[in-house]
Chain A
Amino acid sequence: MKSLSLRQLAGIACFWAIAIAPASGAAQTAAAAEPTSSTGPLSGYMDFHFNKADGEPGVLDFHRFVLLVNHTFSPKLRFVGEIELEHALVEGLEEAGELELEQAYLDFLLSRQFNVRAGMVLVPIGIINERHEPPVFNGVERPFVDTVIVPTTWFEVGAGVHGELGQGLRYRAYALAPLDALEFDAEEGIRGGRQKGSESDVRNVAFAGRLEYRAVRGLTIGASVWTGESSFATPRLDTTVNIGEIDARYRRDRLELRGQFAHVGISDAARLNDALARLTGVSPNIARSLRGFYGEAGYRFWNAGAPRDLVGFVRYENFDTQFRMPDGFLPLKEFDRDAWVVGLTHYPDPDVAVKFDYVRLRNQSGLLPTRHVLNAGLGWWF
């Protein structure tokens, strides 16, 4: 065996010394982990769906293709942007697809208690609107309540503050462009009224706020409000939209629970209906209040970590976009709906969700049948 020279031994000793000696300074770090996937300044999520309702042809839809970009000017000044292509194609009409700027804001991170955010922001209402990455929620499609009562994804231009108050309390409060009441309708409520930061009319300003409480491990309780005068295009009206919402999420061991209740009030709805009837020739039958709630229980049947992660869930939803009508208007019972959703979510990777569910969607009209829908979906975050 060839002997080592003194220089070689000294080199080995130095290498060892550098490799295993503690680093100087206040902090040292190490990782004890399997290799993780890489990411850069670009991240995002995708949502690919198959929907088959009874009596209807199946539909394959690349529902969402979302890219997020972020940039750190300094530790206290950051940019986040999110661009979303819906339904894979844009032809100028929403039905054929949308290209949306869902987030583009600057965060001025001043302190734990007080930070300023300005730009295109997500409205802080409900569970899903700010937590909508596909692996984060069960079900191929988002909850109905988070579609027709709380119109996710809801984003607007504006500015506001956010921070933590201690004792597990976290808040957001924004001044934003209001909804446009001329776009409300009976079936989807206020959803069509989102101005989406596209030359938004801000003769009136809306206010949105959310308070979250998280002092118990695994439990998050949230409450949100929105208020804004929404009839700026018809100044003689006073259509103010007020939204109140509460929600809770809880997770312990294999059990996951979540629930949400949301109520929307629309003032001056009778005169809004009259004004729209004069404009379009048809009364939109907009309600003076909308209401929705859901409860969901999930259980992690397979809990060994990806790819051995499997969650089964059941969700009940009740939602009515004609909950209370203005005087002189009758509710359309087809819009008083409830749904049972039962399904599975499998995680071959923590960032990849393979989803299957069955939906039984009923309405109170007596004329329109109950819908039975099978859904399959593939969603991923990177």
Chain B
Amino acid sequence: MIRLPLLVLLVLVIAMIGPAPGQAPTRRVIEVTAERFEFWPTQITIDSGEEVEIRIKSDDTSHGFRIVGAATNVVIPKRGKGEAVALFKADQPGRYTFECSRMCGAGHNFMRGVLIVRDPSAAGPR
């Protein structure tokens, strides 16, 4: 039988780890569609310090979504098989290339886009 102090300790550990389900911090969701050999939109703009949730669906085969220079690299399932979700946050303004990371056909290397991280204090509308 689990002793009460240990149970309290376990609850405290879980509470320290992060918010409970349903209480996740609100973050902007960006929806991206992938198809041979392009992403839509091809350009994404976020603010520095802003964490965004990028949800990517495919309209055909399985693709990949990799942000060059960041740790993000997810497999996008085939059309109708779900979506990939990538969380991204950059603290400094800059430009990142995102690209398909899974061979998808003759034009695979053309399948790229740009993610612009801007300074919110100096920027206009997205």
Hey, which bits of chain A sit against chain B, CB under 8 A? 1, 3-4, 6, 9, 12-13, 16-17, 20-23, 25-34, 36-37, 39, 41, 43, 45, 68, 70, 75, 78, 80, 82, 103, 107, 109, 112, 122, 130-133, 135-136, 162, 164, 166, 168, 170, 214, 217, 220, 304-306, 309, 349-351, 381
How far, in angstroms, from A220 to B71 measured CA to CA in the complex? Answer: 31
B114 on interface, CB distance cutoff 8 Å: yes
Q: Is the CB of B17 within 8 A of A131?
A: no
How far, in angstroms, from A203 to B67 measured CA to CA in the complex? Answer: 43
Q: Chain A nearest CB: distance from B3 CB in Å? A: 7
> B67 — which chain A residues lie within 8 A by C-beta?
27
Say which residue of B18, B71, B107 sits within 8 Å of A29 (CB atoms): B71
Contact A103/B103 with A26-B70, A214-B42 known, Cβ cut-off 8 Å: no
> A131 — which chain B residues lie within 8 A by C-beta?
36-37, 105-107
> A351 — which chain B residues lie within 8 A by C-beta?
60-62, 78
> B86 — which chain A residues lie within 8 A by C-beta?
27-30
How far, in angstroms, from A82 to B37 measured CA to CA in the complex? Answer: 17
How far, in angstroms, from A20 to B58 measured CA to CA in the complex? Answer: 27
Say which residue of B3, B81, B107, B110 sits within 8 Å of A36 (CB atoms): B81
Say which residue of A3, A33, A80, A103 sits within 8 Å of B84 (CB atoms): A33
Q: Chain B nearest CB: distance from A369 CB in Å? A: 37
Say which residue of A17, A23, A112 sits within 8 Å of B97 (CB atoms): A112
How far, in angstroms, from A168 to B41 measured CA to CA in the complex? Answer: 9
Contact A82/B103 with A13-B10, A32-B84, A351-B78 known, Cβ cut-off 8 Å: no
Say which residue of A12, A23, A164 sits within 8 Å of B112 (CB atoms): A164
Say which residue of A1, A37, A220, A304 sits within 8 Å of B62 (CB atoms): A37
Q: Is the CB of B40 within 8 A of A80?
A: no
Contact A26/B89 with A13-B13, A16-B17, A34-B81 known, Cβ cut-off 8 Å: yes
Say which residue of A68, A132, A214, A306 sits within 8 Å of B80 (CB atoms): A306
How far, in angstroms, from A275 to B111 measured CA to CA in the complex? Answer: 45
Q: Mask for B1-40, Cβ within 8 A of A = 1, else 0?
A: 1110010011001100110000000000000000011101
Say which residue of A17, A39, A75, A136 sits within 8 Å of B17 (CB atoms): A17
Which residue of chain B is the closest to A69 with respect to CB atoms?
B103
Q: Is the CB of B42 within 8 A of A168?
A: yes
B47 on interface, CB distance cutoff 8 Å: no
Say which residue of B10, B37, B70, B81 sits within 8 Å of A33 (CB atoms): B81
* Nearest 8 A/B pairs, CB to CB: A305-B80, A33-B82, A33-B77, A27-B72, A350-B78, A28-B87, A27-B70, A350-B79
Q: Is the CB of A31 within 8 A of B85?
A: yes
How far, in angstroms, from A130 to B82 measured CA to CA in the complex? Answer: 27
How far, in angstroms, from A162 to B37 measured CA to CA in the complex? Answer: 14
B90 on interface, CB distance cutoff 8 Å: yes
> B2 — which chain A residues lie within 8 A by C-beta?
3-4, 9
Besides the contacts A26-B88, A36-B75, A349-B78, what 7 more A-B pairs have beta carbons closer than 8 Å? A28-B71, A28-B88, A34-B77, A36-B81, A68-B105, A80-B109, A133-B106
How far, in angstroms, from A23 to B70 measured CA to CA in the complex? Answer: 13
How far, in angstroms, from A16 to B16 measured CA to CA in the complex? Answer: 12
> A9 — which chain B residues lie within 8 A by C-beta?
2, 6, 9-10
Q: Chain A nearest CB: distance from B25 CB in Å? A: 10
> A36 — which chain B residues lie within 8 A by C-beta?
62, 75, 77-78, 81
Q: Is the CB of A13 within 8 A of B9?
A: yes
> B40 — which chain A residues lie within 8 A by C-beta?
214, 217
Q: Is the CB of B102 within 8 A of A39?
A: yes
Q: Is the CB of A30 within 8 A of B106?
A: no
29 example contacts (A-B, Cβ-Cβ < 8 A) are as follows A12-B10, A17-B13, A20-B18, A21-B17, A28-B72, A29-B72, A29-B74, A29-B87, A31-B77, A31-B84, A32-B85, A33-B75, A33-B83, A33-B84, A36-B75, A68-B103, A122-B106, A130-B37, A130-B106, A131-B37, A132-B106, A136-B60, A164-B114, A304-B80, A306-B80, A309-B79, A349-B78, A351-B62, A351-B78
